[in-house]
Each structure stands twice: as C-alpha cells, then as structure tokens.
Homo-oligomer: A and B are copies of this chain.
Amino acid sequence: MSRQTFDLLILGSSSASPTSERNPSAQLLNIAERYFLIDCGEATQIQLRKYKARFQSIDHIFISHLHGDHFFGLPGLLSSMHLLGRKREIVIHCPKELKGIMDAINSVSDTTLNFPVIWQFTDNNGFNLIFEDQKVEVYSFPLRHRIYCTGFLFKEKPLPRNINKFKLEQLNISTADILNLKKGLDVVNENGELIKNADVTLDPPETRSFAYCSDTIFDPTICEYVKEVDLLYHESTFLDDQIARAKKTFHTTAKQAAEIATRANVKKLLLGHFSVRYTDLNDFITEAKPIFNNCDLAIDGKKIEI
C-alpha cells in the first residue's frame, strides 16, 4: 500500500522583490489531498497555473505576515477563484489586519465573492492548534520579524496500523474488530480465540511533519516548535557575509538557518527567501552544509516529497 501524499511545491523563493527567475514567497503543501497554500506573494495564481496545480483544490490559505511579498497575490487569487466559479468556502489563517484590506479591495471593485471566506486570525503568542481534521493538524507559532509574523507546523496524525491481510484471511474476524486491530487493540475472533494485535498487524509508517519559518531573525527559541520535523523550511535571505544586515532587517543567513536545523534535530532543511542580490544559489548550500548536511534549495517549480 502506498503512503498518503505529503509533498511541497515551491511557487516562489524570492525575498522582497521578484527576479526574472524567482517569484515572491508561496508554497503549496499537499497532505493526503488536502491542499494548503502557504503565503501568497504576487503572481502566485500565475505560478499555480504554470506548474499545473489545481488551485480550486486549495481550501486553506496560511499567511505568515503582512509584508507584501507574502500576500500581494491573495486578492488576484481569490478573484480568479470567484470568476472561475468557486462556490466552496475557503479558510484564510492570517493576521487580523488582512481582512480589512480585502474588504476594502472588494468594496472599491464592487465585488462580492461567490464563495464564503472564513477568516481565522492567527495569534502569535505561543504554540496554537489552528486546524485539524481526520488526517492532519496544523499549528502556528511566533516568529520574530520586524512586524507580527507566525510560522506554521503541519503534521500527519498517527496512521492506523497495517493489517497483514494474508493472516487475516485465515482467521475469523468481524469487520468491527478489523477496525479495532487497526487501532492497536487485541480482539477475540468469532471462534472465541484471542488474536494478539502484534501477531496480525504491522507498525504504520511514522507520521511526517513540515515546518514553515519565514521571515525571522536568527532565533533558537523556535527550535522547540520545529523539533525533529521531517522538513524544515527556514528563510535564509542572506549569506553570512551579510550577517549584520540580516540582524538589522530581522532576517537570517544560510549558516544561521543550518544552526537552527542542527539544534532542532530536523531531518532535512530547505533554504529560501533569497535576496535579489544573489544569483548563484549554490553558495547557500556551500555555506549551510558544513553545519547541517541534508539541505536543499527552494527553487520555483521544485516539488519535494516529504
């Protein structure tokens, strides 16, 4: 049995301004066919089309903060969803000031969206469960930036135990008890025999997780929130030669991002939010690898299986 989907599509990897190769921040996360859009820089809808992502499948949008390179694509995306016939509600998790801006834009254009927008305002005080369903849970946590900003943690919920179907066929077990076996319970079969869970089930795959941290100054206090995630996206706007500038602008260098990945003991680090001053992104890997080996670059259009 193949595992449920858990992959990340990079839609934009530039900081502040786009370049000819890099759009502003946006990522599309697919966990078990739940589509989560994380940040929505200008032209995100164009990137979604370019990379053939079905943008009407997005039901949740997460906006980390209200610098333009993280949300200027939202009005256009919602407008296109509306014009292309969307009726299903969308949930936007964001700083509370965003609603007023979207209301003002809809007001001047005399637009009433044909679908409900559910506003869920983030709270950057502590670690908060902001969404859950049967398969996924999402948390927000504070990031230290020039303005209010949150990171997001996406986690699979524990999967049911895998049943050894070959063994199951030989035993006489009711459908209800198959569900109990999947939950990890022992059962008694229809012949009155005790069936030990360990004899007929296998451990499920471990749950996976992804954390998104953009934008932030170097801040080891976030390690507790992103501890041991399978993939950590951490901004690295600068290389370490710009460490003073990184500190001043509340951003991070590749070396510092690698330091966070090490301290948080994550499995893999994804670097992004690159300043327009850099053209050769391999320098980011060169700088991060000596500190944290398993690192990769967020490149527009790249898909990463988690």
Give A residues with C-beta under 8 Å from B. 16-20, 23-24, 42-43, 45-46, 49-50, 66-69, 72-73, 75-76, 79-80, 83-84, 95, 97-98, 100-101, 104-105, 108-111, 146-147
Take A68-B76, A68-B79, A75-B68 as given contacts and tell me if A19 and B49 are in contact as well, using a CB distance cutoff of 8 Å. yes
Say which residue of B19, B46, B72, B109 sits within 8 Å of A76 (CB atoms).
B72
- B146 near A17 with CB under 8 A, answer no
- A146 near B49 with CB under 8 A, answer no
Take A42-B42, A42-B76, A46-B43 as given contacts and tell me if A68 and B109 are in contact as well, using a CB distance cutoff of 8 Å. yes
CB distance from A102 to the nearest CB of B (A): 10
The 3 closest A-B pairs by CB, nearest first: A43-B43, A42-B76, A17-B80
- B42 near A18 with CB under 8 A, answer no
CB distance from A92 to the nearest CB of B (A): 14
Chain B residues, Cβ within 8 Å of A72 = 42, 72, 75-76, 79
How many chain copies? 2
CB distance from A85 to the nearest CB of B (A): 11
Say which residue of B23, B75, B100, B110 sits within 8 Å of A146 (CB atoms).
B110
CA distance A84 to B58 in the complex (A): 33
- B67 near A109 with CB under 8 A, answer yes
Given A66-B109, A101-B101, 13 other A-B contacts at CB below 8 A? A16-B79, A16-B83, A18-B45, A42-B75, A43-B46, A66-B108, A67-B109, A68-B109, A68-B111, A97-B108, A100-B104, A101-B105, A110-B146
- Which of A50, A68, A146 has the most chain B CB atoms inside 10 A of its CB? A68
Chain B residues, Cβ within 8 Å of A101 = 101, 104-105, 108
CB distance from A256 to the nearest CB of B (A): 22
Take A42-B42, A66-B109, A109-B147 as given contacts and tell me if A79 and B49 are in contact as well, using a CB distance cutoff of 8 Å. no
CB distance from A179 to the nearest CB of B (A): 45
CB distance from A71 to the nearest CB of B (A): 9
CB distance from A300 to the nearest CB of B (A): 12
CA distance A73 to B84 in the complex (A): 20
Chain B residues, Cβ within 8 Å of A76 = 18, 24, 42, 68-69, 72
Instruction: Look across to chain B and name the residue whose beta carbon is closest to the beta carbon of A106.
Output: B68
Say which residue of B17, B20, B108 sits within 8 Å of A83 (CB atoms).
B17
Instruction: Look across to chain B and name the residue whose beta carbon is closest to the beta carbon of A50.
Output: B20
Chain B residues, Cβ within 8 Å of A73 = 42
Chain B residues, Cβ within 8 Å of A50 = 20
CA distance A300 to B69 in the complex (A): 24
